[in-house]
Amino acid sequence: MSPEGDATGSTAASAGAPFVPPTLDSDRSELTAALGLVIDADLLRMALTHRSYSYENGGVPHNERLEFLGDSILGQAVTVKLFRENPDLDEGELAKRRASLVSTVALAEIARGIALGRFLLLGRGEELTRGRDKNSILADTVEAIIGAAYLSAGPDAATALVLHLETPLFADPERFGAAMDPKTSLQELAARRGRGLPQYSVTDSGPDHDKRFTAVVRLGDEDLAEGSGTSKKQAEMAAALEAWTRLQTHR
């Protein structure tokens, strides 16, 4: 999100003005074109609505139930394709490839490829913390869209959507290997670079029924990256993956 967007959100929040998301319904034709599928407008809006937006706007329907549905459809579609196209792979290798293809980092890459962040409905807090580019939010929204496609157009269309979105990733699933075990991958990479052992610090916020955890990973005297999640483990893994990516990029 641009600095101007941050300033606008801050001003509106401080002035008590109603929050107006930067994305309008009329903009979504581009998203529909990228998906290659027309989804019922109400279901698509729900799929794009993060719970932070719902909480700030009278409890409008948000995407978590659709995400639950889409996760199952995604897993089945990817599993069947891997099974059919890799007759020589054993169960263990198939499981590894599936994990990499449905991982948060893989789904977030898919989301960025279709500019999904532009279309999200987020609350003020997520806007100000760059929620439009958070791996977890992007990945969850991809799953929600798959769920919406199932309800709107049926199981065959939802499966076709999964395969359409995942096709670029099937050719090179190994690039997502670090997503399967980011803490170990980071530790190994840091050792090769002579950076020592990663150290993690975790804080939490929010009520007991809706806690969010934030982890910071430190190498030597540098705070290299941070990540968030709904559990300490999830936050540490997100931070490790971000740190691993940064180390890989800056050789």
Strand pairing partners for 200?
217
Residue numbers in the known binding site for Mg(2+) are 67, 140, 143
Residue (of 208, 203, 210) closest to 235 by Cα position: 203
- From 126, 127, 143, 236, active-site residue: 143
To the nearest 10°, the Cα dihedral for 91, 95, 76, 39? -160
Q: Coil, helix or strand for 244? A: helix
Longest Cα separation, the chain = 62
Q: Which residue intervals of the chain are DSSP H helices?
A: 3-15, 29-35, 41-47, 51-56, 64-85, 91-101, 104-113, 124-128, 135-153, 155-170, 177-180, 182-192, 232-249
Report which residue type is found at 136.
Answer: S
Residue numbers in the known binding site are 67, 140, 143
- List the structure tokens of 77: 């579609």
Residue 138, number of CB atoms within 10 A of its CB: 22
71 is catalytic: yes
- From 71, 109, 166, 236, active-site residue: 71
Residues in the chain: 251
Which residue numbers are catalytic?
71, 143
